Amino acid sequence: MFITVKFGADHQILLNPNCKVVNLAESLRDQCRCGPEVSIDLLDESGNLINLSDLEGCQDTATNYLKERQSYVLVKIIRSEGSEPARYESLLENLSKRHPELAERLQKLSNPHIRDKSRNSVQKKVRTPKETPFSSPTKTRAASQPKSRLA
């Protein structure tokens, strides 16, 4: 079992995730030359963060969180002071050219308040049955139609 982690100027490494999460994160920092002070995470091919920094304290193996033979992009977590959400920076150069959908997803994760504003600005009007065309009650329609004289 292995995973591929992409970083730098089109570098990639193979890692065996059959180890504790903390050991995998430490190995990633060593092989990618990130210092121990750098918070890192992995972004999968669907644009989901694995949240390695949250999992480093647990004793679970990384295979519980990572998929076999999957590719991941190494991401740096930039934590701000106060109540501001964390920002994410790709450690794979030119992510927007290589994987534009992942770059877009990473930007949305870094700016969640922008995503919420755009969601709130597009409000769909929900029609009630009274507002829809041809939805007048059956009694009204029947009363307005002339009765047949054939009876």
Q: Please check whether residue 139 lies inside any domain of the structure.
A: no
Residue 144 lies in a domain: no
In a domain, 137, yes or no: no
Average pLDDT, the chain: 79
Backbone angles phi, psi at 72, to 5 degrees: -130, 150
Most confident among 45-54, 82-91, 108-117, 139-148 (mean pLDDT):
45-54
Q: Is residue 127 part of a domain?
A: no
Query: What is the C-alpha to C-alpha distance for residues 7 and 95, in angstroms, rounded to an integer?
Result: 9
DSSP string, 48-112: -B--HHHHTTS--BGGGTS-TT-EEEEEEEEPPSTTPPPEEEESBTTHHHH-HHHHHHHHHHH-H
How much is the pTM? 0.69
Please check the confidence at residue 37 and state whether its pLDDT lies above 60: yes
Residues 50/44, Cβ–Cβ less than 8 Å = yes
CATH, residue 40: 3.10.20
What integer is the mean pLDDT of 64-72? 94
Tokens describing residue 14: 């193979």
pLDDT greater at residue 148 or residue 39 = 39
Of 124 and 104, more confident: 104
Give the confidence band of 102 by pLDDT, cuts at 50, 70, 90: very high
Give the model confidence (pLDDT) of 109-134 as tens digits.
887 665 444 444 444 444 444 444 44
The answer to whether residue 62 is domain-embedded is yes
